[in-house]
Amino acid sequence: MESEAEPSSKELLKIYDTTLAEKLMQKLLPMIENCAKQTRSEKVVVAVSGGSGSGKTVTALLLSCFLKEKGIENYILSGDAYPHRIPKYNDAERLQIFRENAIVGMLKEQTYTEERCTIIQEFQKAGNDADEKHVGKYSWYESYLRNGRRALKNYLGTEKEINFEEVNRLVHAFKAGGEKLWVRHMGREETELWYEEKDFTGIKVLLVEWTHSNSEYYSGVDIPIYLDSTPQETLQSRLERNRDQWIDNPFTMMVLDIEQKMLKKQSEKAKLIVTRDGTVLDRKEYAQFVPKLQK
């Protein structure tokens, strides 16, 4: 199965506002050059992370264009192809983990009764069982939410959800000078999973574009970049793209909130940070303007 034809660099530069990418390049290019010198390797891995709607995809595309203009061949690797399950099955897995562990947790804490289960099931049928407002009427409901959220937190962005081992192999094969590497592609349907053999001969920079590209579950990233965003911005982006079922329900907001806290923690490793107003800061500059990130 072949990939769709990509727009040329000139076409992309005409379509998008290049201001942010230009500011990033001013700081990124010296870092790439220094990294290559320090590691005595021509292979450099740059990670672009952030929540949905933060601009990862466009930023990676424009950085790729600017690098090519400088004579630096590169390839964009999308981490969205590496979950264990296609989106609709992964969404179902997330919901199942939340609901099952919420109930099991209540049993352990002895807050579960058959009567309460009936109430919970009504909320589940309505698709709003993750809504914190229910605690106002039923104080015991806090047990349901807390246990479900804890289990969900232990799944999202971990090896249980994502095949980090495969990403790790690809990144290290690239850095070792591998020329013919198999790259994974995943769509939204069962039949949309395939591998493509890419020729990495002459490729100097691997751009990993992904929500989890700064994750601790894989290694090999030389220059992590973090694009800041809020759960509300992420939700708005998903609404505009209509990416998911029940997109604006309480469970989705819980997922986005957990992911945002995880990304904030991972952003402490970033060497370049793009704030929500488009300012590009290195780690030292960021520390001067923003209080220590909440863990």
pLDDT digits (tens, 9 = 90+) for 173-208: 999 999 999 999 999 999 999 999 999 999 999 999
Residue 293 binned pLDDT confidence (cut-offs 50, 70, 90): very low
Q: Is residue 216 part of a domain?
A: yes
End residue of a domain, out of 153, 170, 185:
153
DSSP H stretches of helix in the chain: 9-15, 19-39, 56-69, 87-109, 114-126, 134-137, 141-153, 164-175, 231-241, 250-266, 283-289
Across residues 263-270, what is the average pLDDT? Answer: 90
In the chain, what percentage of residues exceed pLDDT 70? Answer: 86
Q: Note whether 79 and 93 are same-domain residues.
A: no
Q: Note whether 134 and 264 are same-domain residues.
A: no
In whole angstroms, give the CA distance from residue 169 to residue 178.
11
Q: For position 239, what pLDDT does the model report?
A: 57
Q: Are 214 and 224 in contact (CB under 8 A)?
A: yes
Q: Note whether 284 and 206 are same-domain residues.
A: yes
Q: Is residue 187 part of a domain?
A: no
Q: Note whether 67 and 209 are same-domain residues.
A: yes
Report the 10 Å Cβ neighbour count for 274: 25
Q: Note whether 142 and 210 are same-domain residues.
A: no
Q: Note whether 275 and 210 are same-domain residues.
A: yes
Q: For position 295, what pLDDT does the model report?
A: 42
Q: Is residue 165 part of a domain?
A: no
Whichever domain contains 253, its CATH number is: 3.40.50.300
- pLDDT, one tens digit per residue, over 104-140 is 999 999 999 999 999 999 999 999 999 999 999 999 9
Q: Are 36 and 206 in contact (CB under 8 A)?
A: no
Any idea which of 87-101, 134-148, 234-248 has the lowest mean pLDDT? 234-248
Q: Note whether 61 and 104 are same-domain residues.
A: no
Residue 6 binned pLDDT confidence (cut-offs 50, 70, 90): low
Q: Note whether 105 and 142 are same-domain residues.
A: yes
Residue 247 binned pLDDT confidence (cut-offs 50, 70, 90): low
Q: Note whether 112 and 95 are same-domain residues.
A: yes
Q: Is residue 226 part of a domain?
A: yes
Q: Give the domain range for residue 273.
A: 9-83+202-289
Q: CB-based contacts of 62: which residues, under 8 Å, 6+ apart?
A: 12, 13, 16, 18, 20, 21
Q: Note whether 241 and 216 are same-domain residues.
A: yes
Q: Note whether 244 and 256 are same-domain residues.
A: yes
- pLDDT, one tens digit per residue, over 12-41 is 556 667 888 899 999 999 999 999 999 999
Residue 294 binned pLDDT confidence (cut-offs 50, 70, 90): very low
Q: Is residue 66 part of a domain?
A: yes
Counting the structural domains of the chain, the total is: 2
172-201: string of b/e by CB count within 10 Å (b at 16+)? ebbbeebeebebbebeeeeeeeeeeebebe
Mean predicted lDDT score pLDDT of the chain: 89
Across residues 152-171, what is the average pLDDT? Answer: 98
What six digits make up the tokens of 170? 């690809």
Q: Is residue 36 part of a domain?
A: yes
Q: CB-based contacts of 161: which residues, under 8 Å, 6+ apart?
A: 83, 84, 90, 93, 155
Q: How much is the pTM?
A: 0.87
Q: For position 285, what pLDDT does the model report?
A: 84
Q: Is residue 143 part of a domain?
A: yes
Per-residue DSSP letter, 211: T
Q: Is residue 243 part of a domain?
A: yes
- Residue 72 scores a pLDDT above 80: yes
Q: Note whether 104 and 45 are same-domain residues.
A: no
End residue of a domain, out of 112, 137, 153:
153
